[in-house]
Amino acid sequence: MKEILYLEVPTPNTDAVRLWLKEEWKQTLGEKIITPDGIRIELSQKNDRESRSIEYSQLSIFVWSLQRTTYLKVFRWGLAIASEGKICQQLINDLKERFPQQYPEPPEIDLSQHSIFEALAPYYPKTVHFFQKMPQGEYDLKRAYWWERRWRESVRNPQKPKQVVFKTNNTQISNQYDLIYIGGALGVIHAAVMAQRGYRVLLVERLKFGRMNREWNISRSEFQSLIDLDLFTQEEFESIIAREYVDGFSKFFDAYIPPKLKAKILYTPTVLNVAIDSEKLLNLCGEKLRNAGGQIWDETEFIRADISSQGVTVDLANLATGESKQVSGRLLVDAMGTASPIAWQLNGERTFDSVCPTVGAIIESGFEPQVWDSDYGDVLNSHGDISRGRQLIWELFPAEKEELTVYLFHYHEVHPDNPGSLLEMYEDFFTILPEYRRCDMEKLAWKKPTFGYIPGHFSVGSNDRSVAFDRLVAIGDAASLQSPLVFTGFGSLVRNLDRLTTLLDTALRHDLLKAEHLALIRAYQSNIAVTWLFSKGMMVPTGKTLPPQRINAMLNTFFGLLADEPPEVADTFIKDRSDWLTFNRLALKAARKNPALILWIWEMAGSKDLIRWVGSYLAFTFDALKNFFLGGWFPKSIEIIQPWLEKRYPALWLRSLSLKYSLSLLKKTV
C-alpha cells in the first residue's frame, strides 16, 4: 500500500464530496467500486507483449472531515500502473471545478428589523448559539460584525483612504492638553506614564473604557519595565495577575510530514506565562491617569484632526448623546489599533502587509479535569493541516481560578478578494474546539469572547512605514511593528515603553513635534523585521492551493531546531531578542535540515517579497555592524555629553538618544 495523493477539498460539507465521488464523478479509466468512505478504482494493464500477463492494481479514494473542511487521500494497492497519474490529475481538476476555493462575505443586515442574533443565525448558527450564552453576547457580536465590515472596507479601498488628518494655517489655537490619545486599550498604558511625568493628558475611547476584546499574556521579566517606569508597584503587578503557569508548549501537527522533520515539543516556561487580567490592568492605568490629572472620555468617537504649526484640533462625537466636541493639544497619539483611519491615510496600500484574524473566548469552567492541567499553557499549537486556505493555530492560556483563555488564529496576507473573516473563524472555533481539546460545548461556561485583527508590517528598514506626521505619532497596533510570531501590539509596547516614553518626553520638552522628529519615536527592531519571512511562510496566498501539510512541515522544521537548542535560545528568539549570529546559525541549520524550505518560501512569498526580505536582512546586518562598532562606547559617551548636547542641539540629542535605544535592543543575548 502506498499513498500517492493527499489534498484538501475546501468545503465543510464532507458528505457532499463523498456523494460526488460515489455518484457524480466519472473517471476515464478503471472500474469504480463504492466503499463506505469513498470509492475504489480497479485498474489493469498488460505487463509486456511476450508474457501477455496482466497487472492489477487498485486505487482507494476516501475522504474525512477535520477542522470544518474535507481532506482526501488516494492509496494504491498493488503494483504501480502508468494510468494512475492521469486518474489523480483528473480527480484534482474535477474537484477544483466542483468545489472551488471560496471566501465567504458577511451578509448585509438591517438591525432595525432584526436583532444581530436573528440576522446572523442563518449564516453562522454555532456562532449565534454560543454568543447567546455569553453575558454581553449581543453587544459583543455586534462589535465583531462591525469590526469585520470596517476591516473589509479598509482593505478594499486602500488607494482611497478616508482623509481624517488635515493641514491648516490656524495659528489661534489654545492647547488644552499636551497629549490627546485616541484609543484606550494600549493608549491608556502609555498615557498614564506620560501623565505621571506632568503632562496634561486626554484619553479618548470609542467603547466603554476598560472593556477588552482580548486578553494579554506576558512574562515577569518583560512586565518589569512597567515597574521600572514607576507605573506599577510590585504589589499592584501581583494584583493584576490572573494566573501564572509553570510551562508553555509549542507543537504542530505532524501526522503527514517526513519523519526527519517531526519536532519535539518546545517547552518555553518563561514565554507568555503570566496571564494578565486586562480589565484590571486598564482600570488601574485609568485610575493612575486620573490621579495624575488626566481625563478619560469614553464612548467617544474620533472624527478628524486639523494640524497647524501651533497645535492639533480634534473633532469628536459622543456616541451616547450624539454631541459633537472639539479639543486641542500639542500632540495627537494614534492608539486606535488595526482599524485606525489615521494609519490608513498615512500609509495607503502599505498600511499592513499581513494580518492575523483572531477569535476565541474566556471559558470559566466546563472542561473535564483530565483535559487540561491549568499549570500549563499552549503557546502555539495546530491539530490539523491547511483548512480552506488557512493554517489554523491555537493558543491556550490558563487564567483566574478554572478559567481558560483560548484563541484560534491564522497568518493571512492582506488581499481585497480575501481580507480575512472573524465570523467565519468563529464558526470554525465553535465547531472544532472539541477536536482541539475534548469537551462538551454545552457544558462550558462562557465568560466573554476575544477577537480582533492583529496586523503585521514587513519592514525593510526603520523608515519604510509612516508612524508620524507633524504633531501626530502612532503607537501599538496602529504602528503595526510587533512580532510576527507570538507577540501582539501589547508585547511590542511593553518591551519598548521606556524607549517610547523617554523619546516622547524629550520631543515634548524641546518642542520637536515635526514628522521628522516624531518618526524617531517608534518600536522598530531590525531583528524582528527580518523574521517576517517566518510569518510569510505560514500564509496561503489567496487563490493558490498548497499541499495540506506544507505549513506544518515548515513549522516543525524550525520549532524542532529551537527544541534542540538550549532553553535560553528559544526564549530569546520568541521574545524578539535574538541577535544576528543566532539568527544566521538557526537559518543555516534549518536549510540543512530541510533543503526544500527555500523553494517552498519562494513559492509562497514570490520573488518580489523575497527581494524585499533581502533588503530587510541587509538592514539587520547593518544594524549588527553598528552595534559591533558603536555599542560598547556610544551609549556611555552620550550620557557624558548629554547636558551640553541636549541644551545646544536638542534635535541631535533626540536622534542620538534614539540610536542609543536601537543599539541596546541589538545587544548579544545568547
So what's the pLDDT on residue 668? Answer: 43
Q: Which residue has the higher pLDDT, 220 or 128?
A: 128
For residue 643, the tally of other CB atoms under 10 A from its CB is 9
In angstroms, the CA 248 to CA 376 distance is: 6
Grid cell digits, residue 215: 486578553
Band the pLDDT of 616: cuts 50, 70, 90: confident
In a domain, 234, yes or no: no
Domain housing 74: 2-98
Q: How many CA atoms lie within 13 A of 350 on its CB side?
A: 11
So what's the pLDDT on residue 129? Answer: 98
So what's the pLDDT on residue 463? Answer: 63
Grid cell digits, residue 219: 512574562
Q: Do residues 366 and 234 touch, judged by C-beta distance below 8 A?
A: no
- Cell match 541596546: residue? 664
Q: Which residue has the higher pLDDT, 51 or 263?
A: 263
Grid cell digits, residue 432: 472544532
Q: Which of 577, 571, 568 is nearest to 666 (CA)?
A: 577
Band the pLDDT of 52: cuts 50, 70, 90: low
For residue 645, the tally of other CB atoms under 10 A from its CB is 15
Band the pLDDT of 669: cuts 50, 70, 90: very low
In a domain, 269, yes or no: no
Segment 386-399 shows an average pLDDT of 94
Segment 471-492 shows an average pLDDT of 66
pLDDT-wise least confident of 110-114, 160-164, 209-213: 209-213
**pLDDT digit string, tens, across residues 405-427:** 999 999 998 888 999 999 999 99
- Cell match 506544518: residue? 552
In angstroms, the CA 173 to CA 312 distance is: 8
- Cell match 522544521: residue? 557
- Give me the long-range contacts of 144-150 (CB less than 8 A, separation at least 24): 144/359, 144/422, 144/423, 144/426, 144/449, 144/451, 145/106, 145/109, 145/116, 145/120, 145/423, 147/339, 147/422, 147/451, 147/452, 147/453, 148/106, 148/421, 148/422, 148/423, 149/106, 150/339
Phi and psi torsions of 50, nearest 5°? -75, -50
**Whether the predicted pLDDT of 294 surpasses 60:** yes
Band the pLDDT of 119: cuts 50, 70, 90: very high
Average pLDDT over all residues of the chain: 88
**Whether the predicted pLDDT of 155 surpasses 90:** no
Band the pLDDT of 487: cuts 50, 70, 90: very low
So what's the pLDDT on residue 164? Answer: 92
In a domain, 604, yes or no: no
**pLDDT digit string, tens, across residues 599-608:** 888 888 888 8
Grid cell digits, residue 405: 483563555
**Whether the predicted pLDDT of 132 surpasses 50:** yes
In angstroms, the CA 381 to CA 378 distance is: 6
Grid cell digits, residue 490: 501589547
In a domain, 186, yes or no: no
**Whether the predicted pLDDT of 482 surpasses 60:** no
> Per-residue DSSP letters for 346-367?
HHGGGS-SEEEEEEEEEEEE--
**pLDDT digit string, tens, across residues 305-333:** 999 988 999 999 999 898 999 999 999 99
So what's the pLDDT on residue 489? Answer: 65
Amino acid letter for position 185? A
Grid cell digits, residue 264: 519535539
**pLDDT digit string, tens, across residues 179-227:** 999 988 888 999 999 999 999 999 999 888 887 666 788 889 888 888 9
**Whether the predicted pLDDT of 480 surpasses 70:** no
Q: How many CA atoms lie within 13 A of 208 on its CB side?
A: 7
Q: Do residues 252 and 262 touch, judged by C-beta distance below 8 A?
A: no
**pLDDT digit string, tens, across residues 250-278:** 999 999 999 999 999 999 998 888 988 88
Amino acid letter for position 500? L
Segment 9-28 shows an average pLDDT of 95
So what's the pLDDT on residue 656? Answer: 94
pLDDT-wise least confident of 10-14, 96-100, 503-507, 616-620: 616-620
So what's the pLDDT on residue 338? Answer: 65
Q: Which residue has the higher pLDDT, 59 or 214?
A: 59
Grid cell digits, residue 537: 511562510
In a domain, 160, yes or no: no
So what's the pLDDT on residue 336? Answer: 86
Contacts of 110 (CB under 8 A, 6+ apart): 119
Distance from the Cα of residue 507 to its chain's centroid: 31
| CA angle 464–470–475, rounded 5-degree value | 60
Segment 544-554 shows an average pLDDT of 94
The CATH number of whichever domain residue 85 belongs to comes to: 3.30.310
Which residue stretches of 20-136 are H helix? 84-98, 116-120, 125-131
Q: Which helix (H) or strand (E) holds 138?
A: helix 137-156
CA dist 528 to 99, 216, 219, 272, 578, Å?
39, 20, 18, 17, 8
In a domain, 70, yes or no: yes
Count Cβ neighbours within 10 Å for each residue of 165-191 and write b for 16 or more, e otherwise: beeeeeeebebbbbbbbbbbbbbbbbb
Amino acid letter for position 266? L
So what's the pLDDT on residue 285? Answer: 95
- pTM for the full predicted model: 0.85
So what's the pLDDT on residue 50? Answer: 54
In a domain, 563, yes or no: no
In angstroms, the CA 426 to CA 350 distance is: 28
**Whether the predicted pLDDT of 403 surpasses 50:** yes
So what's the pLDDT on residue 462? Answer: 60
Q: Do residues 412 and 357 touch, judged by C-beta distance below 8 A?
A: yes
**Helix, strand, or coil here: 471?**
coil
So what's the pLDDT on residue 148? Answer: 94
In a domain, 24, yes or no: yes
User: Domain total for the chain?
Assistant: 1
